[in-house]
Structure 1
Amino acid sequence: MVGVFAPGHLGELTQVVPFEMVDAVLAEAPAATQRRVRLLPARVTVYFLLAMGLFPERGYRGVFASLTAGLGALRPATPTASALRQARSRLGPGPLAALFTLLAGPVARPRTPGACWRGLRLVAIDGTQVAIPDSEPHRAWTQMSRTASHPSAGYPLLRLVTLVECGTRALIAAVFGSPADGELAYAATLLNRLRPGMVLLADRNFDAATFLAGTASTGADLLIRLKGNRRPPLLGRHTDGSIRSIIGGVEVRVIEALVTVTTADGSHRSEHYRLVTTLLDPQRYPATDLIELYHQRWEIETAYLALKHTLTRGRVLRSQTPTGAQQELWALLATYQILRIAMTDATNSRPGLTPDRAGFSVALHAARDQVITAQSIIAGTHIDLIGTIGTHILASLLPARRARTCPRTVKRPLSKYAYNKPHQPPTCHTITIEITITNAATSPLTRTTPP
């Protein structure tokens, strides 16, 4: 690693995304192939884009300076912001999309605690929106319109849909584009990443006969919340309260339940759930167990929190053109996945430790430090899967998961506007959860989960 290639690294995370992987991706992208060695080679540009996700608050030259700060005598001059933009333009989005595809996938081992439920790997699918700069090309791409009553509407938004491994919150697949296309259209393109032995969790936005049938055709099972207006035919009842039905030509079980959450101060709230599943054996997969399992769907919400707020700190993407925004978002998704791989490697080193005990912020700050100091870029003869980043993670583990409720809000202390309190307890409380199956053949079945 000498000369112009010296800034091409990601600190200790380079062991997750090594030079050989980046070079292989570039070799498959004809548009990114260089006929001569430039002052900013394509390999360096790839690592620069990944580092942009680690340092969202820094400008182009600041990000590049972070990559070269620890290089000592090998440290080259910092290029201009214009030169870095031109390097990005030469590279295009293709290599970053291909790099993410190489990195994406389940990262938990079969015996990783929390990754599987009764031998089935838990995965979830959902969508979110990503803000991009307000430019004419972006407004055209996202089909964002302005009206006389709203001449200064908010930022254009991209729709991002991902398939996430619940146990580790790692990305299995992702797709994004204009919000003019709905979540279901994007989600359908990700179904080819499902495998037998997986169970897909999804909210009621994915209650569509074609989506259910498409999921079932992959060999994976599903557990999806139904919309209130869905009226599946009653073909029979099971003793656990679930009913036999058919949707989109797929034989399913339908479970209806009332979930009541009681907090430590005595307040409570209830919500009605109706789930559909292809796990047809009520003895092996009881209705109350499946209702409890559905809560794992929220792991994808936690993944989006880490991606959009912890990693980017809520900032709008930098790129002013659709091509640049695609490239930047693929790089951001790849950086997120690299961190998740490092976190899971760390927790796997300690038997019985669940991946959700690893702190994303801890991993992020440790990774940033390793980039700045340019440490452990090349692995020695003995590959250490833990490393400095893993050591920091294991030294600052999060508390074990507790049953509690907390307001789903983002506090903004500097806002001049009054805080709109939700209709929920204002602080975190331990809770007791009571599940009542409401469509039992005889009497309702109730299970109470202690705090």
Structure 2
Amino acid sequence: MVAEGVFAPGHLGELTQIAPFEMIDAVLATCSAVQERTRKLPARVVVYLLLAAGLFEECGYPTVWRKLTGALSSLPIPQVTATALWHARCRLGVRPMRELFDLLRGPASAIRTAGARWAGLLVVAIDGTHLDVADDEAVRAKLGKGSNQYTDASGYPQVLLVALVSCGTRAVIDAVFGPGKPGESILGCRLMRSLHPGMIVLLDRGFATKGFLNAVHTTQAHFLARLSASWKPPVLARYPDGSFLSRIAGIEVRIVACEITIATSQGRRTGVYRLATTLLDPRAHPASELVKLYHERWEVESAYFELKKSMLGRRVLRARSWPGIAQEIYALLSTYQLIRIAISDAAHATGTDPDRCSFTTALNAARDQVIQAANVIADTAIDLVGAIGTAVLDALLPARRLRLSPRAVKRPLSRYAYKSMKVDRRTYQATINIEILTGSTSP
């Protein structure tokens, strides 16, 4: 069952139940983007086309259209051209996709969702990444290009994307994007609108700046940030767990210094970390537990991997203008969020940890549902698992194992570089030893 008439291609398979027709129509009405007359491509259909394009990033828009309509051969589906699809996307604009993302974004977790909270606090992380965009003159003028020792301009222009991600579900709570300058910590300040009491924000060294830490502290959310070597925090008081009270950026914090040793069959590596947090009670939040919690910051990197590798396939975005790029990024984030909500609903309904749910399995199941135009309209009894959730639960990942893969350039420019780099790219089982350092403030 799909919509009637020219609205029939407007669906996203089973994901339509999460973003139903009524939601899309309300977004269009709010943005005054409802078509004045019914065309072959109504605004609602164009929204679903953009969302479906996030599922089929390897395809052009005409091919995405054929996937939306492939199972609707018995219906009088209008024939549309690539030019008609381009004009329809231009008419729609950016605002409806931004409004839709604002409706969908969030932690996608309940109070009892496994791994979503720590000590009663919602665990979130902020980090940035770059998306390649078309090397068009207008885009290049806005974003600039990278440089290297051979040329002043190299590679594709890039958009800086900074996201606030729930570590337990990898759902996007908020995201902002723009040119790479003046930097991710400045752009990330726009995410403060989504921070609130009851959160603990995990931050890398790039975000541990005076301005950013003060902005987070103003929201009354707690933070756990890794400090760079430039910070020289004073020791105001020492605690039995090895941490000490200090003050940075005018904020009273507790500093935890630790030495982390990672051992594999190929050797050992040791590094010293300093973490600063606004959780000042060492009994309620021991230093050793804070160090373990900080490892959850890597969940935001996993979310970016799913966006850039699983969905985009490391491809350049389709759009060749800044409004088109913004429209495409909001559509991509919305589609990612829809899949994450479907995964979280299935995990919560069965008491499963979302960490064991495969995003790739959910993505492929969502693609199948679009091609078949299946489960578009929900029954009277809502099934939180559905076909996507069933596929995920039938192929659960094993419990997390501690493994280590050394950082390396996976695709060197020269095909002869593999031997000269002498880098072992295999992944090994690892053991980690954490030792809290006392009596020292050095990084």
TM over 0.5: yes
Aligned counterparts of 2:71 and 2:347: Cα–Cα separation in 1: 28
Match for residue 183 of structure 2? 182
Aligned counterparts of 1:91 and 1:71: Cα–Cα separation in 2: 24
Match for residue 73 of structure 1? 74
Aligned residue pair count: 438
Q: Return the offset for 1:214.
A: 1.4
Report if aligned partners of 1:70, 1:374 keep a CA contact under 8 Å in 2.
Answer: yes
Q: Return the offset for 1:421.
A: 8.4
Q: Return the offset for 1:407.
A: 3.1
Report if aligned partners of 1:253, 1:278 keep a CA contact under 8 Å in 2.
Answer: yes
Q: Return the offset for 1:219.
A: 1.6
Aligned counterparts of 2:359 and 2:420: Cα–Cα separation in 1: 28
Tell me if 1:250 matches 2:251.
yes
Report if aligned partners of 2:6, 2:78 keep a CA contact under 8 Å in 1.
Answer: no
Instruction: Go from structure 1 to structure 2 and tell me whether the alpha carbon gap of 1:310 and 1:256 turns closer, same or farther (over 3 Å shift).
Output: same
TM-score by length of 2: 0.95
Q: Deviations over 1:27-51 (max 9, x none)?
A: 1112x23211111011000000001
Match for residue 10 of structure 1? 12
SS for the counterpart of 1:257 is strand
SS for the counterpart of 1:74 is coil
Q: Return the offset for 1:420.
A: 7.2
Match for residue 310 of structure 2? 310
Gaps of 5+ in 2: none
Tell me if 1:371 matches 2:370.
yes
Q: Return the offset for 1:197.
A: 1.1
Match for residue 214 of structure 1? 215
Match for residue 299 of structure 1? 299
Q: Return the offset for 1:72.
A: 3.2
Report if aligned partners of 2:145, 2:155 keep a CA contact under 8 Å in 1.
Answer: no
Runs of 4+, deviation exceeding 6 Å: 145-148, 420-424
TM-score by length of 1: 0.93
Match for residue 433 of structure 2? 434
Aligned counterparts of 2:284 and 2:423: Cα–Cα separation in 1: 35
Identity in percent: 50
Instruction: Go from structure 1 to structure 2 and tell me whether the alpha carbon gap of 1:421 and 1:354 turns closer, same or farther (over 3 Å shift).
Output: farther
Instruction: Go from structure 1 to structure 2 and tell me whether the alpha carbon gap of 1:52 and 1:111 turns closer, same or farther (over 3 Å shift).
Output: same
Output aligned runs, 1:31-180, within 5 Å.
32-144=33-145, 149-150=150-151, 153-180=154-181
Task: Name the stretch that deviates more: 39-48 or 227-236.
Answer: 227-236
Report if aligned partners of 1:195, 1:219 keep a CA contact under 8 Å in 2.
Answer: yes
Match for residue 324 of structure 1? 324
**Structure 2 counterpart of 1:318, which letter?**
R
Aligned counterparts of 2:423 and 2:414: Cα–Cα separation in 1: 21
SS for the counterpart of 1:219 is coil
Aligned counterparts of 1:345 and 1:387: Cα–Cα separation in 2: 9
Q: Return the offset for 1:347.
A: 1.0
SS for the counterpart of 1:258 is strand
Tell me if 1:204 matches 2:222.
no
SS for the counterpart of 2:418 is coil
Aligned counterparts of 2:246 and 2:99: Cα–Cα separation in 1: 41
Output aligned runs, 1:372-411, within 5 Å.
372-409=371-408, 411=410
SS for the counterpart of 1:399 is coil
Aligned counterparts of 2:285 and 2:421: Cα–Cα separation in 1: 35
Q: Deviations over 1:327-358 (max 9, x none)?
A: 0011000000000000111111212x210111
Aligned counterparts of 2:70 and 2:152: Cα–Cα separation in 1: 44
Q: Return the offset for 1:244.
A: 0.6
